[in-house]
Structure 1
Amino acid sequence: MKMADGSIGTAAELRDPNYTPPLTQAIPLGIQHVLAMFVSNVTPAIIVAGAAGFGFGSNSPDFPELLYMIQMSMLFAGVATLLQTITLGPVGAALPIVQGTSFAFLPIMIPLVAGKGVDALGALYGGVLIGGLFHAALGMVIGKIRFALPPLVTGLVVTMIGLALVKVGIQYAAGGVPAIGKPEYGSLLNWSAALIVIFATLGLKFFARGMLSISAVLLGLIVGYIYALMVGMVSFEAIGTSWTRASAFALPVPFKYGFEFSFAAILGFCLMAFVSAVETVGDVSGITQGGAGREATDKEIAGATYADGLGTAVAGIFGGLPNTSFSQNVGLIAMTGVMSRHVVTCGAIFLIICGLVPKVGAIIRTIPIEVLGGGVIVMFGMVVAAGISMLSDVDWNRRNMVIFAISLSVGLGLQLEPGAVQYLPDTLRILMTSGLLPAAVIAIVLNLVLPMELPGSATEEVSGGMSGHGQGSLGHD
């Protein structure tokens, strides 16, 4: 109940996941969780559609398909979140975990669909479904495989995810994927819209408080959208057309884009499931530590992994993209001090309602690509920063520096120069040019096979190396 001082419960109640605040408090708190993740949740669908070559104008024949993908992102983020909060047998952690569309899989999805239109989606969703089932199966062994994924590996992978995506943010800010005959690409007008979003987001994040700070990216996009309207980048006619073409209510369609077994897609999604599962373990631990001051139990970690995978598999059936726990909401729980899973359930219901109303997606799609680019630059930069933060926990001795150096060089190099493996079979070429998978595989294998300490003779022979305590760099004492 609400206390006399305006709080919504005692300290013990707020730390209890099963505590239910009054609805007058629970609903706004739940919507706050949605605002914190909303833009990040729908952005991957827009990026995948853009990579596939969908038309972004409201008169494009692909416009309904784009709206459908946005709709499914919202709907199945809500469904997956309900699996976490309400649970279904062993599925779900019974914790306030917010699920959303994962950025981590974009380096796998973009090469799979690049320039192939709707025809490529059957293989994509086949990979999402099988990868999701594999992800769910990891719940049975997640505790036993964590040894193979220390911060050196997971930090490298998360950093590589961000590095793989920053190019997309720059392209969007400049006017979309560059094309011949597009002279406005990189124009001052395009960049002005993106910069307005970035500056507004930074201002709100660091100089505002409460909801204004928490929802800085969303509000930054709104400011950018208003600017775009003022300078003629968005017409009211286009908004009206988008609104008219979108239906008021629509249910998801199973296997709308067919189902195709693609070895490259299935292998890519299954390999990325390892990374996503470990990220979820970290998020669950962050929630229990920040909200309840305790370690996560094995049951909670397994349940969260089951829900991650099952939510992804169900989304794949209906045209959604892979789901994962959202880290930004972990920080929100620590900030508000409200551990109630029922608060997040309110947010999940709100997401589901939005996902059943395509007109919500139609409004989102009227956001100019340049405005979205400003938000994407911030979000993808934060992914890189999160990876670097994870790497700060690494003992930077010579062994770990060599593992990191080789993995990063090969992974980033193949991503920047895909023509270097042009003669490989298509499946292997797609996996290699993602950059992410070769970097992850190299790091995991080297971390498992290289000795934890270099032989004493080798240490003595190499001058100017790392000290025995892991300080310095490869070239300095």
Structure 2
Amino acid sequence: MSRPVTTGPTRHPVDEIPRLDRLFPLGLQHVLAMYAGAVAVPLIVGGALGYSSADIAFLISADLFVAGVATLVQSIGFWRFGVRLPLMQGVTFAAVGPMIAIGNQYDITAIFGATIACGLFMIALAPVFSSVLRYFPPLVTGTVIMIIGLSLMGVAAGWITNNEESAQPRDLAFAAATLIFIIMLEKFAPPALARVSVLLGLVVGTIVAVPFGMVDWSGVSEAGWFAVITPLHFGLPTFPIAAVISMLVVGLVIMTETTGDMLAVGEIVDRPVTKQQLGDGLRADGLSTMLGGFFNTFPYTAFAQNVGLVSLTRVKSRWVTAMSGVILIALGLVPKVAAVVEGVPRAVLGGAGIALFGMVVAAGVRTLVKVHFTNTNILVVAIAVGIALLPTVQPEIYANFPSWFQLIFDSGISAGAIAAILLNLLLNRDQLNDDHVAAAHGARSIPKNLSRPDEVRQAEAARAANRSDGDAADDGADPRR
């Protein structure tokens, strides 16, 4: 008589560890998908503050190293740090404008001090952020993300013009060619290549620029093969009050962005994020940001493009992104890699930057699609974007104001974020419920008693259909248009 076969508990796909021959290429794919975005911030900030090639290369190495550590903390986790889902961490674009303003007003040590303060603030706020989240419905977060991308377009233009009044024909030609190549990859390349189109655009554009004498890799030979990322390389951090306040606003934006990414990836991998996991993930963001300040880099957040990659590949294991973290640490410890990146021609960076920062704008628009656009909500977006773009189109607009005011409002990102939050509080008070889920639903006109993703999707679809029918009845338009 045969015995019944017994099986142990089934491990969730999130916790499965693929074989090494699959683990490494899958992890490398995540690194390639986020690499261009990961190294862009130290390139932007270092260049804007006038640092040497060697210093910018060091900033890139530090960025990659801490990004790897942050990814390991978020994916594997320890104690109450880390959401333990397949998430990649990298420096946020939301901090670029405020950091440049801080660096120009003080120096880079003030950036690192404000970053450390921001990290501590995020750790402290993580357990109660769910109650604050109601102030950041899709109307606010979508507007802020869109403002980030719009504000960064000036950086792309500065790369193309070498920060002069006008671009040289050769530089403009290389920027345009790089951008066209990225578009062609998106249109005609296989999905695996299309996902890294920006990175490939940088690589091919740089190779083509070599015969034209536009590539300066003199620093590569001087850079070592291995180096330790020393803490406080640029000196002890300083903590100007205005700089800290400016960065705390960024911290709220980061936490909102990471919350959205965690909820999205939890749904993708069929492991919904609990309130405790949300706090653990946000606490990991704060720890990574604090480490960033000590290790000469900047605030960290989850990278949305990698959430999309998880959705596309359906590879749910958090150990894949943990492998990505190991790869990032290895790259950060090899200075020659950072020196190669720093040698990419500015014109090529400018062409890729148009696509990269445009994707940030598009991500904001995608978030705003969830919003029911009443006249009030249109006004919130319009005024916040207008306030944010004032210092972008007229950099000297606040030149006669006190330094603390300039530090906050010279950055279109922080000015726009403050405007969006306050306008939403003033004009949409009826949507501010005690439950953050209900508040997010209210911004999308979804009944607050619906909480499961399938219920929310059905409610949104019904609302969209009703709105289309109503619009058609009002003006005779074709609802299919």
Q: TM-score, normalised by structure 2?
A: 0.85
Task: Tell me, in whole angstroms, the C-alpha distance in 1 between the residues paired with 2:310 and 2:143.
Answer: 26
Task: Tell me, in whole angstroms, the C-alpha distance in 1 between the residues paired with 2:317 and 2:125.
Answer: 27
Tell whether the 8 Å contact from 2:94 to 2:413 is kept in structure 1 after alignment.
no
Equivalent of 2:67 in 77, 80, 90: 77
Matches within 5 A, 1:384-395: 384-395=361-372
Residue by residue over 1:299-336, the C-alpha shift from the partner in whole angstroms, topping out at 9 and shown as x without a partner, is 22211111111001001101011111000000100111
Task: Tell me, in whole angstroms, the C-alpha distance in 1 between the residues paired with 2:160 and 2:299.
Answer: 25
Partner of 1:273: 251
The alignment status of 1:151 with 2:144, answered yes or no, reads: no
Residue 253 to residue 190, structure 1, CA distance change in 2 (3 Å): same
The alignment status of 1:410 with 2:380, answered yes or no, reads: no
The alignment status of 1:50 with 2:47, answered yes or no, reads: yes
Partner of 1:221: 202
Equivalent of 1:342 in 319, 333, 347: 319
Residue by residue over 1:248-268, the C-alpha shift from the partner in whole angstroms, topping out at 9 and shown as x without a partner, is 211122222221111222111
Question: What residue identity is the alignment partner of 2:163?
Answer: V
Please identify runs of 4+ aligned residues in structure 1 that moved more than 3 A. 468-472
Task: Tell me, in whole angstroms, the C-alpha distance in 1 between the residues paired with 2:412 and 2:49.
Answer: 19
Tell whether the 8 Å contact from 1:159 to 1:387 is kept in structure 2 after alignment.
yes
CA positional deviation for 1:285? 1.4
Partner of 1:194: 175
CA positional deviation for 1:416? 2.5
Task: Tell me, in whole angstroms, the C-alpha distance in 1 between the residues paired with 2:340 and 2:380.
Answer: 46
CA positional deviation for 1:85? 1.2
Gaps of 5+ in 1: 1-11, 55-61, 180-184, 454-467
CA positional deviation for 1:387? 0.8
Task: Tell me, in whole angstroms, the C-alpha distance in 2 between the residues paired with 1:418 and 1:368.
Answer: 26
Matches within 5 A, 1:278-297: 278-292=256-270, 294-297=271-274
Residue by residue over 1:90-111, the C-alpha shift from the partner in whole angstroms, topping out at 9 and shown as x without a partner, is 1001111100111110111122
Gaps of 5+ in 2: 1-9, 431-465, 477-481
Tell whether the 8 Å contact from 1:160 to 1:436 is kept in structure 2 after alignment.
yes
The range that moved more, 408-417 or 337-346, is 408-417
Residue 451 to residue 299, structure 1, CA distance change in 2 (3 Å): closer
The alignment status of 1:178 with 2:159, answered yes or no, reads: no
Residue 30 to residue 426, structure 1, CA distance change in 2 (3 Å): same
Equivalent of 1:131 in 105, 109, 118: 118
Residue by residue over 1:356-395, the C-alpha shift from the partner in whole angstroms, topping out at 9 and shown as x without a partner, is 1111111111111111111111110011111111111111
Tell whether the 8 Å contact from 1:160 to 1:384 is kept in structure 2 after alignment.
yes
The range that moved more, 194-203 or 122-131, is 194-203
Task: Tell me, in whole angstroms, the C-alpha distance in 1 between the residues paired with 2:207 and 2:428.
Answer: 57
Partner of 1:463: none
Task: Tell me, in whole angstroms, the C-alpha distance in 2 between the residues paired with 1:164 and 1:22.
Answer: 43
Equivalent of 1:232 in 187, 200, 213: 213
Residue 250 to residue 336, structure 1, CA distance change in 2 (3 Å): same
Residue 368 to residue 415, structure 1, CA distance change in 2 (3 Å): closer
Equivalent of 1:365 in 320, 324, 342: 342
CA positional deviation for 1:452? 5.6
The alignment status of 1:22 with 2:19, answered yes or no, reads: yes
Partner of 1:182: none
Equivalent of 2:86 in 69, 91, 96: 96
CA positional deviation for 1:22? 0.7
Partner of 1:464: none
CA positional deviation for 1:469? 6.9
Partner of 2:186: 205
Partner of 1:259: 237
CA positional deviation for 1:443? 2.2
**Identity of aligned pairs, percent?**
34
Aligned-partner SS, 2:82: coil
Partner of 1:458: none
Tell whether the 8 Å contact from 1:138 to 1:277 is kept in structure 2 after alignment.
no
Question: What residue identity is the alignment partner of 2:116?
Answer: L
Aligned-partner SS, 1:100: strand
Q: TM-score, normalised by structure 1?
A: 0.85
Task: Tell me, in whole angstroms, the C-alpha distance in 2 between the residues paired with 1:225 and 1:402.
Answer: 43
Task: Tell me, in whole angstroms, the C-alpha distance in 2 between the residues paired with 1:194 and 1:104.
Answer: 24
Partner of 1:3: none
Task: Tell me, in whole angstroms, the C-alpha distance in 1 between the residues paired with 2:76 and 2:467.
Answer: 47
Tell whether the 8 Å contact from 1:126 to 1:316 is kept in structure 2 after alignment.
yes
